[in-house]
Amino acid sequence: MPKPNPTIEQMAAFCKRKGFVYPSSEIYGGIAGFYDFGHLGVELKNNIKREWWKTFVQQRDDVVGIDGSIITSPMVWKASGHIDGFSDVLVDCKKCGSRFRADTLIEEKLKISAAGMPFEDISKEMARHKIKCQKCGGDLGEPKRFNLMFSTHIGPIEAESSKSFLRPETAQIIFANFRLVQENARLKLPFGIAQIGKAFRNEISPRDFLFRMREFEQMEIEYFVHPEKQEECPYINESLDYGLNVYSEEMQKQNKNMQKISIKECLNKKIIKTTWHAYWLAQMHEWFVSLGASPEHFRIRQHVKGELSHYALDTWDLEYEFPFGWKELQGLSNRADFDLKQHMEHSKSDLTVFDEETKKKVLPHVICEPSQGVERAFLVFMFDAYEYDKKRDNVVLKLHPKLAPIKVGVFPLVSNKEELVKKAKEIYCQLVKEWACAFDVSGSIGRRYSRQDEIGTPLCATIDFQTLEDSTVTLRDRNTTQQIRVKISELNNVIARFLNGKN
């Protein structure tokens, strides 16, 4: 029987059993760090991306989108620093040959955060605490750097001149296209450029199901501002009263607990340095909450000194309380002008923007970069929706209607009455033109309700003998199990109001 709060292993098993996610090429033993999305998983994943794009691109007049290529000039990755510095620290077991990320071993052994720990400190900690192999208990070799990029070759000849890489992130494609997008879309500062797409990282030890993968998707925005107007956020008033669980650098240093603080207080106390950064933190948190996630399961955590990336002036992570602890869900960095400056230097292209007010060219700053893994968002919504209902004796996946893979389940009350089956099929064909629907005639009506509950379907329409008399159907709410009678002629409108939260 499933537990009310599933572990990551139980969630992986549930996703496989219900058709959400499968280990890639499982019939051949699978391959670590790669997963395939089943018939329900692909719908949920697409719905997540659709809602994100609608909220942060289509409904804003200051953000536009692009879709960049997965393979690009290796000079892009030279300029960004990925070729020389995009690495994790690897250790090999001398006895069994197993490989591990050294920082992960330190975290699990010492119960501390090793994020951003310098190479030299990692080596010292490994030696000082005599950390052993997790698999066989053998001695580990000396730590060494391991570049995380997947390399490939362009064209028929494998030579150094044809070497390229699968992109390890989507951000650099935005920077490389900055000039064209800004001119073509006639963008004026401040503005953002968004992208959803695949990224690839050759993780040493992928783990925790969809949390740490070798192939994944990102949803991110690079938001550009005038370098002299970094405090001029015209939207900040709409977020000032928004409350967040905050875990600042100071709180971490003093071993204090996180506190719920409003954006206004964060700015007044200078916990968050810029209004733009505060605004985007609130926006991204609110997006998850608007789609059904509990606000108490999130916090924002500031990177401490030594953890910051070389390009960042300040970074906050939006974290989620997974079964295996508080972990990064989304990174929001102030990248300043690092990336555009690097690409200007390496490409010899002018990436400045002409400022009409001062009549001068300026190099924009990325005041905030909300960067989100689609699969991690997928996990968040699955964990927050998962509930074991003792009364029903089955899982009820309370996904927000906008995210639910199937919107309406349609079935006849009994499957051995031809007239009911025919009418149910007719109604299904009507509804499927507007909504993702499921038609089911197998088993008892109770079992069919349970099947839809377990995959998150918010509504079920049952065609019974009364339908044949008065052209009404029973519409059942997944969360409450309450039922109402609805005329077939009004069914689409009633469903639309419910799915849009207007029931």
Q: What is the CA radius of gyration of the chain?
A: 26
pLDDT at 309: 79
Q: CA-to-CA distance for 5 and 256, rounded, in angstroms?
A: 27
Sole residue written with tokens 């029931």:
503
pLDDT at 2 over 50: no
pLDDT at 420: 95
Confidence of residue 1 (pLDDT cuts 50, 70, 90): very low
Q: Return the structure tokens found at 27.
A: 């019939």
Q: CA-to-CA distance for 63 and 203, rounded, in angstroms?
A: 32
pLDDT at 112 over 90: no
pLDDT at 367: 96
Q: CA-to-CA distance for 22 and 28, rounded, in angstroms?
A: 13
For residue 176, give the amino acid letter: A
Q: What are phi and psi of 158, to 5 degrees?
A: -90, 100
15 touches 3 (CB < 8 A): no
Q: CA-to-CA distance for 222 and 368, rounded, in angstroms?
A: 7
**What does pLDDT average to over the chain?**
94
pTM of the model: 0.93
Q: Which one is predicted more confidently, 40 or 204?
A: 40
pLDDT at 434 over 90: yes
Q: Return the structure tokens found at 471.
A: 């052209």
- Residue 147: in which H helix or E strand, if any? strand 144-147
Q: CA-to-CA distance for 318 and 245, rounded, in angstroms?
A: 10
Whether residue 74 is preceded by a cis peptide bond, meaning omega within 30 degrees of 0, is no
Confidence of residue 298 (pLDDT cuts 50, 70, 90): very high
| 35-44, 47-56, 91-100, 256-265: least confident range | 91-100
Neighbours of 21 (CB within 10 A): 26
Confidence of residue 4 (pLDDT cuts 50, 70, 90): low
Return the exposure string of 107-137: e unless at least 16 CB atoms fall within 10 Å of the residue's CB, then b: bebeeeebeebeeeebbebbeeeebebbeee
Confidence of residue 503 (pLDDT cuts 50, 70, 90): low
pLDDT at 96 over 90: yes
Q: For the segment 318-343, what is each residue's pLDDT rounded down to a tens digit?
A: 999 999 999 999 999 999 999 999 99
Stretch 43-50: mean pLDDT, rounded? Answer: 98
Return the exposure string of 184-212: e unless at least 16 CB atoms fall within 10 Å of the residue's CB, then b: eeebebbbbbbbbbebbbbbbbbebbbbb
For residue 147, give the amino acid letter: N
Residue 91 bridge partners (DSSP): 100
**Helix count and strand count (H, E) for the chain:** 17, 25
Angle at 247 between CA 244 and CA 249, to 5 degrees: 140
Residues 6+ apart with CB under 8 A from 281: 244, 263, 272, 300, 316, 318, 332
Q: For the segment 235-280, what is each residue's pLDDT rounded down to a tens digit?
A: 999 999 999 999 999 999 999 999 999 999 999 999 999 999 999 9
Confidence of residue 501 (pLDDT cuts 50, 70, 90): confident
Residue 22 bridge partners (DSSP): 36
248 touches 206 (CB < 8 A): no
Q: Is 224 helix (H, G, I), strand (E, B) or coil?
A: strand
pLDDT at 84: 85
Q: CA-to-CA distance for 76 and 56, rounded, in angstroms?
A: 26
